[in-house]
Amino acid sequence: MSQGPNMVVCIKQVPDSAQISVHPVTNTIMRQGVPTIINPYDLFALEAALRLRDQLGGKVTVLTMGPPMAVSALRKALGHGADEAILLSDRFFAGADTLATSYALTSAIQKLDSQHPVDLVFTGKQTIDGDTAQVGPGIARRMGLNQLTYVSAIPSIDLEAREICVHRRAEGGVQVLKTKLPCLITMLEASNEMRRGSLPDVLRSERAEIITWNAEAAGVEDLGKCGMKGSPTKVSKVFAPQPRAEKAKMIKADDGSPASLATAAIETMLAEDAGLLKVMAPQSTSA
């Protein structure tokens, strides 16, 4: 193996939320037939890892925990240029919340680490189906890695000094952070653009054997920390938000000019909600 960084990118297969529909007859979500995609945020993580590999050599392994059908997400990742793919699949993993998920992924990364030390672990900022942003930090915590979240760029990495410098989005600006390897990075959206894999990449991805690990093969020590059992999160209720019963209103102005239309609109709003005036008053005096 080359001297470059050994990287693991955690990805998740999610339903393409843009294409989810509600069954018109039964009113249930039509999961069947909804195309699945790689969680879009994870693609920024994968591309960031691929760029480092292009620059420095090394290896990019994609890792996912999921049902057998998640191999298609791994194949896609290979088609984008990842070197190796591992699927964590076991009925013990089913029903996992973020705590249990990070436990299982950590076991697998530790196993990889024991075979060849891992320098960088990547995840996306969050998933589009869970929106928790907890799995990445969970892995970092369990593995005792430095964690760099919401990373928008990786300007430099020094494998000799085992140091990495990143840009991290923070409230009101960008932090420039430096830390020691190994570490965990969660990538921010729009931090890069996923490449289109070459023809050899795509051919390789279709032929590749996807390594599948069950709990035992992944070196999971405590099955009680996996899946439903290891998930303290309880979902008490799932409901669809009530559509708001607001109606549009046609507002007419005498001469139809933009200025008088705007005046008419403001007058209508104030007339309908007297509270607005109170909110506006103190601001207008202090301004």
Q: What is the Cα–Cα distance from 118 to 196, expressed in whole angstroms? A: 26
Comparison of 27 and 284: residue with beta carbon closer to other proteins: 27
Residue 264 CA to residue 254 CA, distance in Å, equals 9
* 54 scored as a contact of other proteins (CB under 8 A): no
In the set 197, 220, 225, 227, which binds other proteins (CB under 8 A)? 197
CB of residue 20 vs other proteins: minimum separation in angstroms?
Answer: 13
Give whole-number Cα distances, 221 to 8, 160, 168, 271, in Å.
21, 34, 34, 66
Residue from the set 91, 116, 196, 229 that interacts with other proteins by CB under 8 A? 196
Q: What is the largest CA-CA distance in the chain?
A: 78
Only segment of 125-133, 178-186, 202-210, 253-261 that touches other proteins (CB under 8 A): 202-210
Using the contact rule CB under 8 A, the part of the chain among 83-91, 95-103, 131-139, 201-209 near other proteins is 201-209
Nearest to other proteins of 31, 116 (CB atom): 31
Q: Is 33 a binder of other proteins (CB under 8 A)?
A: yes
The residue type of 7 is: M
Q: Is 25 in the site for other proteins (CB under 8 A)?
A: yes
Is 31 one of the binding residues for other proteins (CB under 8 A)? no
Q: Whose Cβ is closer to other proteins: residue 3's or residue 27's?
A: 27
Residue 207 in the binding site for other proteins (CB under 8 A): yes
| Min dist. Cβ of residue 78 to other proteins (A) | 12
Which residues fall within 8 angstroms of residue 11, CB to CB, at 6 or more apart? 38, 39, 42, 45, 46, 62, 63, 64, 73, 74, 77, 124
One residue of 18, 170, 203, 269 binding other proteins per CB under 8 A: 203
For Cα atoms 33, 10, 183, give the angle at the middle one, nearest 5 degrees: 165
The size of the interface with other proteins (CB under 8 A), counted in residues, is: 16
Q: What does the buried/exposed string (b/e) look like for 154-170 if buried means 16 or more CB atoms within 10 Å of the residue's CB?
A: beebeeeeeebebbbbe
Would strands 163-170 and 173-180 be described as parallel, antiparallel, or unpaired? antiparallel
- Shortest Cβ 39–other proteins spacing (Å): 17
Q: Which is nearer to other proteins, 198 or 257 (CB)?
A: 198
Give the one residue of 17, 20, 35, 56 binding other proteins; rule: CB under 8 A: 35
Residues sharing a CB contact under 8 Å with residue 194, sequence separation 6 or more, in sequence order:
43, 44, 46, 47, 80
Identify residue 144 by its one-letter amino acid code.
G
Residues of this chain that interact with other proteins (CB under 8 A) are 21, 23-25, 33, 35, 196-203, 206-207
